[in-house]
């Protein structure tokens, strides 16, 4: 079963992160860990394969891009419960879950930890404020996930504290992969 995920992503600096945290009414933070998997075909098609560990539960998730325009990301999302974080996801499981055909299994590359705060104050909109840690990087972002109409009113609220959308933003998976490539390149030296 799949869902269509529509979200606006905005990268923040630490000061903006703190401003957003104080501006919206967020719930208590929850820590989650994304374990990322890839092979050459997965990377070249911008597909995300991860196991997300959150509140003691594990979910295998696939995200297949449908449209990316600036800060707007639309992806078809597939997920299922799993019992463990494995070293690889088989090519047969990839094909069976999301219909993507590749010749190699996807191997585990590493993980990204997120401290996430959620605001559900607005109808049909979830605002996630994230602090992410992976390799030697800490970054901050806001994700505005919505159902139905584009949530322009949330963007107006962000503009009140000088935070603007529209700029092209890479998702967590792509940022993680970019750092992974740097780490691998440094090891090979």
Structure tokens given for 28: 């208590």
Cβ atoms of 127 and 163 within 8 Å: the answer is: no
Q: Write down the pTM of the prediction.
A: 0.94
Q: How far is it, in rounded angstroms, from Cα 127 to Cα 14?
A: 17
Cross-strand bridge partners of residue 136: none
| H helices present in the chain, as ranges | 14-23, 40-44, 91-98, 152-159, 172-188
Structural domains in the chain plus CATH codes = 2-188 (2.40.320.10)
Phi-psi region of 183 (alpha: psi -120 to 50; beta: other; left: phi over 0): alpha
* pLDDT-derived band at 181, boundaries 50, 70, 90: very high
CA 41 and chain centroid, separation: 19
Specify the pLDDT at position 16: 98
pLDDT classification of 36: cutoffs 50, 70, 90:
very high
């Amino acid at each position: 079963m799949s869902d269509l995920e529509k979200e606006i992503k905005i990268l923040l600096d630490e000061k903006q992160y703190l401003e957003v945290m104080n501006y919206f009414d967020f719930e208590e933070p929850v820590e989650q860990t994304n374990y990322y998997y890839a092979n050459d075909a997965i990377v070249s098609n911008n597909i995300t394969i991860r196991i997300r560990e959150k509140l003691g539960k594990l979910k295998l998730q696939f995200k297949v891009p449908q449209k990316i325009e600036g800060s707007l990301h639309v992806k078809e999302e597939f997920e299922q419960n799993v019992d463990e974080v494995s070293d690889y996801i088989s090519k047969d499981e990839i094909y069976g879950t999301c219909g993507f055909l590749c010749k190699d299994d996807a191997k585990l590359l590493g993980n990204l930890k997120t401290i996430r705060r959620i605001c559900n104050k607005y109808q049909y909109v979830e605002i996630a404020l994230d602090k992410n840690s992976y390799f030697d990087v800490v970054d901050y972002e806001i994700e505005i996930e919505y159902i139905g109409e584009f949530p322009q009113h949330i963007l107006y609220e962000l503009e009140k504290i000088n935070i603007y959308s529209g700029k092209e933003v890479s998702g967590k998976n792509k940022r993680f992969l970019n750092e992974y490539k740097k780490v691998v390149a440094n090891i090979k030296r």
